[in-house]
Amino acid sequence: MTRTVFTGGSVFDGTGADPAPADVVVEHGRIVDVGTDLDGDEGVDCTGTVLLPGLFDCHVHVTISDIGLLSRVQKPFSYQFYEAARNLWATLGLGITTVRDAAGADLGIKQAVDDGLIPGPRLQISIGLISPTGGHGDAWNPSGLCVPLMVPHPGRPETTVDGPDEMRRVARTLLRAGADVLKVCTTGGVLSPRDDPRHSQFTPEELDVLVTEAAMQGRPVMAHAQGAAGIKNAVRAGARSIEHGIYLDDEAIELMLGHGTWLVPTLIAPVNVVRAADAGVDLPPAVVAKAREVVEAHRDSVRRAYAAGVRIAMGTDSGVGPHGTNLEELALMAACGMPPGDVLEATTSSAARLMGLDGELGRLEPGLRADVVVVAGNPYDFPALAANIREVWKDGIRVV
């Protein structure tokens, strides 16, 4: 097997330390050495570049490409799978080699990537969005018509539940369908016109059943949670991560610290809703009003959470906004007071820890899988980062 050495560049190893000159040697899809003056059978000239570990996005929706009501009802059912292939390719081109799909992708999409049928980041999937009747994932409209973002099908079962028994049944159904993580709405949201992000959804009893079912199969729970009360319910129940966290209060932050709960901020998500509305996308007025209202509260919550020491991993909610623009999130994280090294750590080794992959990915060190991103210029220049991606390697193979 060829021994490939990346020479002449600097290395950001994923730990948050600033880049330092080093070579990286890859063999059999693994990193076998990191240091200076290393050799190999083939060389990749990285002069003037910085090597990063493969990046992560811990909150995407690869089967969703737009949020407008009219465009959704006009697309054939199977079109979403071809869109997913396009969206995965756009994400991989940014150096993002691992994603967590927060509802939409089924086991077939994940397996197609794993088997090499389509190029893309490796996936962890949640398959569906568990919601109560009238909750964030309920597709009911005042007309009486239901227009879901994700239409149920054999690989993506219906996930609207009420009560502990239905919660148990749906949790087991999703796990049977191949879910790596279970996604639940413990509050309302921005895109659902008939609820409020500050209002709670699901009782502690229902959430306890969900977390118990997931834990019995060695699976975590990720909680769409925007209001403080619903965030606290999710944390107390044992959710591994809080997605969005728009209205964090001091008690919620303290609970997250005490339970070791992760925050996946998705700061770009409400910004993208506002952009879509300004561009003329057909969205309910209530949705647009909520998006405009939450932006600053969201940023303030992330600032306070980071300052308090809450563990943060990068996520974007891409699908709500365009796939292929994921790295816009990094500048927003930096604007919340995170130093550049911490932002990249949240996008590499911290994200790997959240997803339980830190023994395989997230750092450039011997023994780990050889996901390597070659960046021209300064990797801390986040607005220019996407344009500066020169090469992307996944498991020791150049894919971009």
Residue 317: active-site member: yes
CB-CB neighbours of 391 under 10 Å: 18
What 8-state DSSP symbol labels residue 320? Answer: T
Which residues is 53 bridged to in the sheet?
372
- Cα-trace Rg, the chain: 21
Q: CB of 160 within 8 A of CB of 129?
A: no
Residue 183: active-site member: yes
Residues 101, 195, 317, 371: which is the catalytic one? 317
Q: CB of 182 within 8 A of CB of 221?
A: yes
- Chain Cα centroid distance, residue 192: 20
How would you class 108 by CB atoms within 10 Å of its CB: exposed for 0-12, middle for 13-18, buried for 19 or more? middle
Residue 296 makes CB contacts below 8 A (sequence gap 6+) with none
Could you write out the DSSP letters of every residue in 122-180?
Answer: EEEE--SEEB-TTSTT--B-TTS-B--SS--BTTB---B--SHHHHHHHHHHHHHTT-S
Q: Which of 58, 161, 133, 69 is nearest to 102 (CA)?
A: 58
Residues 57, 138, 183, 195: which is the catalytic one? 183
Active site residues: 183, 317
